[in-house]
Amino acid sequence: MKTPILQFGTSRFLQAHADLFISEAADALGGITIVQTTASGERSKRLTALASPDGFPIHIRGKKDGAVIDAVTTVRSVKRAISANSDWAETARIFADEARLVICNTADKGYDISGEGDAFPEGVPVSFPGKLTKLLLHRFERGGEALTILPAELISRNGDVLKGVILELATRWRLPQAFPDWLESQVVFSNTLVDRIVSEPLEPAGAVAEPYALWAIERKPGQVLPCTHPSIVVADDISSFAQLKLFILNLGHTFLTDGWLKSGLPRDMTVRELLAVPEHRARLVDLYDNHILPGFTRMGMGNEARAYVDATIERFENPFLNHRLTDIADNHAEKIRRRAGGFLEWTGGRSSVLEELLASVP
């Protein structure tokens, strides 16, 4: 059994995103081998369940186009699930001999290589980029067939960033120049953007997710794709998808959270509960209609922004999603600067509401 797709990460997000899309597609590249990148022993049951011939459930719950969706589907695209730390030789074999496409979604510090030394590691590298670099070197030494890497981390231009980290390790570990030359010619690091709220895990495997989903992939020569799917968009430039998400969904979250923080409302409220408060709903609608949409219109994206605003409000109203405002409030000041300040800088416009929001943070 060969699996042309190798996935690093066992997260519930990937289960309800890439794994589900590939399972649903009629033209999928093939089956998936999932590799757990951390040393957590508590996930062993999850690995067994992920690779079960019976598959694992994804529960889609929420609103779409005004209708409530509450349905369960079964994912059967995963054929194997192993641990990089305890199954390193098998991971290296699959990476070198079977993989045509690599998908990854690691933790917030997934690209951190501060724990790697200056010498090429004899054993399993500490970090995910370290593991990927050693696996890429092994593939290169075995003949070096072409490979596509699709990162799914929420990092701007994630493919370019991951490639830069790999090249930094190649320099630090004094790997032969032929290796980075091969990376440049044979390995496609694609920039991607993912967008789906996966609210909770199911045990031992599976997840609950909203109906809305997007996987935007920047088109590159020689790129291999996992499948064709309604939620996958391939485009020469995916920056517009990032702008819609950052300046409508994310900025909307931050704006609502700011109003809640300055109110006397309960501290355990969710986004959905706050939207049910007429004053706060009216503030959000005013923000979108009179401050955000005019900016997108100036940038030639008015129609796309209007549709995304409508979808975003529907997502915020998801009757099954308990998205707590306390979670969104983390790093609140930085989020205001990046989202409100970034929008004003991008559009070159003025907004009394956003300028007041910016002035409220140090």
Which of 221, 236, 251 represents a domain boundary (last residue)?
Answer: 236
Q: Which residue has the tokens 């200056």?
A: 118
Residue pair 17/215 in contact (Cβ under 8 Å)? The answer is: yes
| CATH number of the domain bearing residue 21 | 3.40.50.720
Co-location of 73 and 199 in the same domain: yes
Q: At what angle do helices 302-316 and 251-261 cross, to 10 degrees?
A: 50
What per-residue confidence (pLDDT) applies to 41? 63
Co-location of 207 and 278 in the same domain: no
Co-location of 302 and 329 in the same domain: yes
Residue count of the chain, please give it.
362
Co-location of 270 and 222 in the same domain: no
Co-location of 149 and 17 in the same domain: yes
Co-location of 334 and 185 in the same domain: no
pLDDT tens series, the chain, 362 aa = 899 999 999 999 999 999 999 999 999 999 999 999 987 666 678 999 999 999 999 999 998 888 999 999 999 999 999 999 999 999 999 999 999 999 999 865 789 999 999 999 999 999 999 999 999 999 999 998 999 999 999 888 999 999 999 999 999 999 999 999 999 999 999 999 999 999 889 999 999 999 999 999 999 999 999 999 999 999 999 999 999 999 999 999 999 999 999 999 999 999 999 999 999 999 999 999 999 999 999 999 999 999 999 999 999 999 998 889 999 999 999 999 999 999 999 999 899 999 999 999 88
62 φ/ψ angles, rounded to the nearest 5 degrees: 160, -160
- DSSP letter for 324, please: B
What per-residue confidence (pLDDT) applies to 301? 97
Closest CA to 129 of 154, 161, 166: 166
What per-residue confidence (pLDDT) applies to 44? 75
Co-location of 150 and 71 in the same domain: yes
User: H-type helices in 120-233, by residue range?
Assistant: 128-141, 158-172, 178-186
Q: How far apart are CA 195 and CA 316, in angstroms?
A: 14
71 φ/ψ angles, rounded to the nearest 5 degrees: -140, 150
Which of 215, 236, 257 represents a domain boundary (last residue)?
Answer: 236
Number of domains present in the structure of the chain? 2
- CB neighbourhood size of 202 (10 A): 17
| CATH number of the domain bearing residue 272 | 1.10.1040.10
Which of 213, 236, 259 represents a domain boundary (last residue)?
Answer: 236
Give CA separation, 192 vs 30, 188, 213, 317, in Å. 20, 12, 13, 27
Co-location of 226 and 102 in the same domain: yes
* Tokens, residue 277: 């408060």
Co-location of 94 and 191 in the same domain: yes
Co-location of 81 and 215 in the same domain: yes
* Tokens, residue 239: 């920056």
Co-location of 15 and 134 in the same domain: yes
Quick check: helix, strand or coil at residue 256? helix
Q: How far apart are CA 43 and CA 26, in angstroms?
A: 30
What per-residue confidence (pLDDT) applies to 106? 85
Domain boundaries, position 61:
5-236
What per-residue confidence (pLDDT) applies to 58? 98
Co-location of 9 and 156 in the same domain: yes
